[in-house]
Structure 1
Amino acid sequence: MERVIITGANGFVGRYLVREMVRQGIGVTAIVRNGSGLADGLDAHVAVIETDDYERIDLKQSGYDAFYHLAWGGVDAKKKNDLNIQLDNISLAVSAMRLAKRCGCKKFIGVGSIAEYRLYAQPIDGYEKKTPLDFYGAAKAASYYMLDVLAGQIEIPFIWAVLSSTFGEGCEDNNIIMYTIKELLAGRRPRFGPLTQMWDFLYISDSARALRLLGENDVRGRVYGIGSGSYAPLREYVTKVRDMIAPELELGIGEIPDNRNVLGSCMETHYLKEDTGFCPEVSFEDGIRKTIEFYRTVENRL
């Protein structure tokens, strides 16, 4: 690849994807929300467009290799059930694909979420019936269906990349790993449900690399699960985190009622490996060490 467009380039995954592209010598046009100063911290060689109105974007160049749509509002827990925000996300995704077509992009890569599939205990490959439990997951699912139809109408190759639970430095999502790290670093005892569900975690640099490979390779227009391909009960993950930070602290496993609606969160990655050769480069343990050190340094600066 030589040139790509990335929306949501200021977000957690977006920033790492931009860095991954820059490291590979790939030119990036980053689209971020207007007036928010979110271009701060992006690579100086990245062309930045600040707007949230994709219909007005008129890029002078054309022939981009890939368009990555990561922009998504309302990702924190308090806004995942904000109907207006999630409906706006669906409309924005459609506008993004239309922009990709106008810019002559060779393919459109939308980023989905494991939140589209909440009622599965077994690993999923993305083709199972979607079972969201909040407006966020439902909006991701709706975006997939809308984009799949639009891609056929305007004739643009469409890939849907479903991310498993991603963690790493700079993650503001209060998922169970980030919650555990922050609580333990603060000297507090984290409290959980039984943590018997099987889970899949992927370090952020590997998530970004997988997305790059989907753009680089002549992959089929299909749904790809992006994960580590390794699964374990949640209690094993949080115990490893505890052992690295404060092995003397007791974990409050089982102190909160079980969320019986969430049966598991594991991605089947055989399509991704088959079509791109992707394998994770960073183990869960190494990724956790990097993440702990980052947040320990942040705490020391406060």
Structure 2
Amino acid sequence: MSTVMLTGATGFVGRAIHRYLAQAGHAVRATIRPGSQGRLAAPAETIETSDLFAHDPQWWAEACEGVDAVIHAAWYVEHGKYLHAAENAACVSGSFALAQGAAMAGVRHVIGLGTCMEYRLPGEALSVDTPLEPGNFYAACKVSAFHQMREWLALHDVAFSWCRLFYLHGEDEHPDRIGAYLHRSLRSGEVARLSAGTQLRDFLDVRAAGAMIANVVETGQTGVINICSGEAQSVRQFAETIADHYGRRDLLQFGTQPPCPGDPAAVVGVCNLEQSPKLREFL
């Protein structure tokens, strides 16, 4: 099995990645904030740092010594702020420093995490060949990190994968995201106020997404990879599925909230992930 450096290991997606890596038998070295070890989903060697994106390539080269693969899941993602936050620019420069350090340390494979918002939207069949047209600062910075890391790592013969995430939900989801909001409201018997719910989305449980990303270590698949279900589901259908778990569709009030400004009508991916036998069994 491989030794994998995992950034963002205590986050929403990082915890799911970590759990599957450990289940698959990989050794994990995680970069974490001081005092956050209790949030790790599985055992790991840890490197503590208060600012992951402030380090130079030499720091990363030392951190990556003896590592076979890097999964870079860390980014600034404060709910309600991250789409237009200046912190995204620091994430770009810090991610490039990581790529430089990984190459210096002889890492064989670097896996970064992007977003479906990098694509030209809307789209009901977003493939990895869909033109890029980021519509916010967060997505623009993800595109910049993708290009910088891809070109630099190619110069140093390091395999590179870029996993674009679609609409994830599930364990550790921020309480104000739609999935967590629905579960919280319906569990407590409170009305859930929603838009008309006509938007089409590609929803995927974060546990499946984490396993799909970790699977890339085993398959060695390079290039852009859509981490998605490949299935279109309206926001209304998504909400009704959750409500059925509680037997409380009566608590869903559609059309009582305005749609978010600029919300695309459809964001649905075409999945191109190569699945290992172990992943097929998990899914």
Q: Which of 150, 153, 177 lines up with 2:152 in the alignment?
A: 150
Note if contact 1:229-1:268 (Cα within 8 Å) is conserved in structure 2: yes
Name the CA distance, whole Å, in 1 between partners of 2:139 and 2:207: 23
Judged with a 3 Å threshold, the aligned counterparts in structure 2 of structure 1 residues 70 and 226 are, in CA distance, closer, same or farther, namely: same
Provide, for residues 13-62 of structure 1, a one-character-per-residue CA deviation record: whole Å limited to 9, x for no partner. 111211211112211110123x3x22223267411001224422453874
- Aligned 1:72-87 pairs, distance under 5 A: 72-83=75-86, 85-87=87-89
Equivalent residue for 1:124, pick from 118, 126, 131? 126
Q: Distance in 1 between matches of 2:200 and 2:263?
A: 13
Q: Contact conserved, 1:17 with 1:212, CA < 8 A, in 2?
A: yes
Q: Kindly state the Cα deviation for residue 280 of structure 1 after the two structures are TM-superposed.
A: 8.6
Please tell me whether the aligned partners of residues 67 and 107 of structure 1 are also in contact (alpha carbons under 8 angstroms).
Answer: yes
Offset at 1:142?
1.7
**Match of residue 231 from structure 2:** 230
Counterparts of residues 1-302 of structure 1 (less than 5 Å): 1-33=1-33, 35=34, 37-42=35-40, 45-51=43-49, 52=52, 53-55=54-56, 56-57=59-60, 59=62, 62-83=65-86, 85-117=87-119, 119-172=121-174, 174-219=176-221, 221-247=222-248, 249-259=250-260, 260-269=262-271, 271-273=272-274, 276=276, 281=282
8 Å contact 1:32–1:48 — kept in the other structure? yes
Alpha-carbon distance in structure 2 between the residues aligned to 1:176 and 1:204: 14
For 1:78-97, what per-residue CA distance to the aligned partner results, in whole angstroms no more than 9, with x for missing partners?
A: 233112x1111111111121
Distance 1:217 1:250 in 2: 44
Taking the aligned partners of 2:175 and 2:89, their CA distance within structure 1 comes to 21
Tell me, yes or no, if the aligned pair for 1:228 and 1:279 is still in contact at 8 Å. Answer: no
Q: Equivalent residue of 1:151, what SS?
A: helix
Instruction: Figure out how many residues of one structure are paired with residues of the other and give that number.
Output: 276
Using the size of structure 1 for normalisation, the TM-score is: 0.82
TM-score, length-normalised on structure 2? 0.87
- Aligned partner letter, 1:38: S
1:214 to partner: Cα distance: 0.8
Give 1:238 deviation, angstroms. 0.4
Gaps of 5+ in 1: 283-302
8 Å CA contact 1:65, 1:215 repeated in 2:
no
Q: Any stretches of 5+ residues in structure 2 without a counterpart?
A: none
Supply the distance in 2 between the matched residues of 1:119 and 1:140 (Cα, whole angstroms). 16
Q: State, as a whole percentage, how many aligned pairs show the same letter.
A: 25
- Quote the RMSD (CA, aligned, Å): 2.4
The 10-residue stretch of structure 1 (64-73 or 244-253) with the greater mean CA deviation from structure 2: 244-253
1:61–1:228 Cα change, 3 Å: closer
Deviation at 1:173, TM superposition (A): 6.1
